[in-house]
Structure 1
Amino acid sequence: MNFGFSANAFREYDPYETIEIVADAGYDGVELLFDRPHLYPPDTDEETVERVKETLAENDLAISNCNAFMLTAIEGFHHPSYIEPDTDYRQRRIDYTKDALRTAAALDHDYISIEPGGPIPEEKSREWALETFVESLEEVLPVAEEVGVDLHVEPEPDLLIETADEYLEFVERISHPQVRCNFDAGHLFSVGEDPVAAYETLSEYVDHVHLEDIPEDRRHEHTQLGEGAMDIDGFLGALDDAGYEEFVTVELYPYEETAAETVEDAMAYLETHGWA
């Protein structure tokens, strides 16, 4: 398998510096951040795209994923979501996702990762939220088809889709070959699942994996590899046994103040344990 590191820990750097730092640390790829201050699609012109591609080539680095989950350029990680009761506000997430698909295509990448609906509004039912999420993606999918870029829905604690079973319920309802799963092992651990068993359940939908450690109390806090309670080696071993050959991207966005050291420490863990 290949290893990447997510640029969402590098908000204090520009995307070009980030690429160089991640490459210097020994990774195979970088997860690009489709948000400010990096590659927010409405701000990303052809010149920026070409410079990113040139910087990747100069550093022999691939794109591991295009992260279109976070949206701090508008409000925050989770809002606007695909299930906002305010249809105009919801449309801002939909339009952002369409732009993200086009930006990924311009960068010659095959997929983006997106949030799993969003937080269910207090006044709405789960069924309403699920139907609204499907309707929102049905508006996005014609663009995905046009540009040939898949949507990787990422289960996350406290959002509409948290577990492997909830993902299956959703994906069977939307039933589209370009709707896939961004498998975040730590997220599934946080909601009480065994990441190995969850991967076995969802593997047919998985082309990209996020990895971080999680504290012993399973709170959703992205933690440096080896400093939490997850069996990182057991999970990577299961991926290896299953023949997984795609990217595993380490995602440690809370470490903005120490991003350059954090990316090296994560690689040191992977190398020490024989994965990289």
Structure 2
Amino acid sequence: MVRLAFSTNAYTRFTLTDAVRRIADHGYDGVELLADSPHAFLPEFDEDDRTRLQETIETTGLSVSNVNANTAMGYYDDAPDTSFFAPTIISDSETERSRRVTYTKRAIDLAGAVGAPAVCVATGRPEPGNPPEQAREQLMNSLHDILDHADSVGVDVGIEFEPELLIECTEEVLELLDVVNRDALGVNLDVGHAAVYGEDPAESIRQCAGHITGVHIEDIVGGRRGKHYHRIPGDGDLNFEAIFRALDDIGYDGFATLELYTYPDAPDRAARRALDALERYTA
């Protein structure tokens, strides 16, 4: 049975521990941790921070669905939009790429400490002067380094595909998994990303059966080929009955995590409405 979680990335106006408490108060079974500023920017997230987080998770009784390491914006004071995922694991700069690999390893350590089954990471966009063929080689090298560490900790790594990134659709992520051929590598499947790319999210789920480390849930206006803006379920055009039926059909029994970072001014309202819209599919 699929369980519902909520990501702290909607609660960026609150501390990480306050975000966890609020998500628990709304009745979710799980919480996803934002491994970035302003919550757990890993170069600055020290042992005291980790202890407070562990105590809060234990007190609330929540499970940690995933550690979200898709971004590392804490490295920048004022990052431009084009650097949203930078530094990335495909950066042409060896220094930047190494920094991001190390960052992802720290996210894996955090996941191990809080009992999360997986960490998600995005590939980022190929940079000017770094053609896709070269970026793919850099991706492979980065992933093997990351996965060696994941194996030692016992945490999976889910690639989150997204339109305009190096890995942007179901076919590409499954091809990557086949080429890398590591048990710890899977897919963090964002149903909205599949829809925006032009895929049927339910079919994407079925194609990824056996490889899903986690699921991100949000609504999209326009459904397939819609606008990439995360909305509360029910405010867009995605067919959540079909999505949850597909998850049941493949025997997925992990978390479906609401990722509604687009509601920083009203995260409690977003959390309440999302749970009201989706809990029927997990009963």
Aligned: 1:29 with 2:30: yes
Q: CA deviation at 1:110?
A: 2.5
Q: CA deviation at 1:262?
A: 0.9
Aligned: 1:44 with 2:45: yes
Aligned residues: 274
Who is 1:97 aligned against? 104
Question: Would you say the 8 A contact 1:64–1:249 is kept in 2?
Answer: yes
Quick one: which of 147, 163, 170 aligns to 1:141? Answer: 147
Deviates more, 1:182-191 or 1:97-106: 97-106
Instruction: Give me the whole-angstrom Cα distance separating, in 2, the residues matched to 1:121 and 1:94.
Output: 17
Q: Per-residue CA shift, 1:129-167, capped at 9, x if unaligned?
A: 111111111222222122222211111111011111101
Q: CA deviation at 1:242?
A: 2.8
Question: Would you say the 8 A contact 1:118–1:160 is kept in 2?
Answer: yes
Who is 1:65 aligned against? 66
Quick one: which of 159, 165, 169 aligns to 2:165? Answer: 159
Identity %: 35
Q: TM-score, normalised by structure 2?
A: 0.92
Question: Would you say the 8 A contact 1:208–1:246 is kept in 2?
Answer: yes
Deviates more, 1:157-166 or 1:36-45: 36-45
Regions of 4+ moved over 3 Å = 273-276
Deviates more, 1:79-88 or 1:21-30: 79-88
- The gaps in structure 1 that reach 5 residues or longer are none
Q: Per-residue CA shift, 1:211-236, capped at 9, x if unaligned?
A: 10011151211111011111122111
Q: CA deviation at 1:274?
A: 4.7
Deviates more, 1:63-72 or 1:232-241: 232-241
Who is 2:196 aligned against? 190
| SS in structure 2 of the partner of residue 207 of structure 1 | strand
Instruction: Give me the whole-angstrom Cα distance separating, in 2, the residues matched to 1:99 and 1:59.
Output: 24
Instruction: Give me the whole-angstrom Cα distance separating, in 2, the residues matched to 1:162 and 1:263.
Output: 27
Q: TM-score, normalised by structure 1?
A: 0.94
Instruction: Give me the whole-angstrom Cα distance separating, in 2, the residues matched to 1:267 and 1:234.
Output: 17
Q: CA deviation at 1:51?
A: 1.7
Aligned: 1:268 with 2:269: no
Who is 2:232 aligned against? 224
Deviates more, 1:5-14 or 1:144-153: 144-153
Who is 2:79 aligned against? none
Question: Would you say the 8 A contact 2:111–2:119 is kept in 1?
Answer: yes
Instruction: Give me the whole-angstrom Cα distance separating, in 2, the residues matched to 1:33 and 1:23.
Output: 16
The 1:139/1:241 distance shift into structure 2, 3 A limit, reads closer
Instruction: Give me the whole-angstrom Cα distance separating, in 2, the residues matched to 1:33 and 1:186.
Output: 19
Pairwise CA RMSD = 1.5
Who is 1:109 aligned against? 116
Instruction: Give me the whole-angstrom Cα distance separating, in 2, the residues matched to 1:45 and 1:107.
Output: 14
Question: Would you say the 8 A contact 1:157–1:220 is kept in 2?
Answer: no
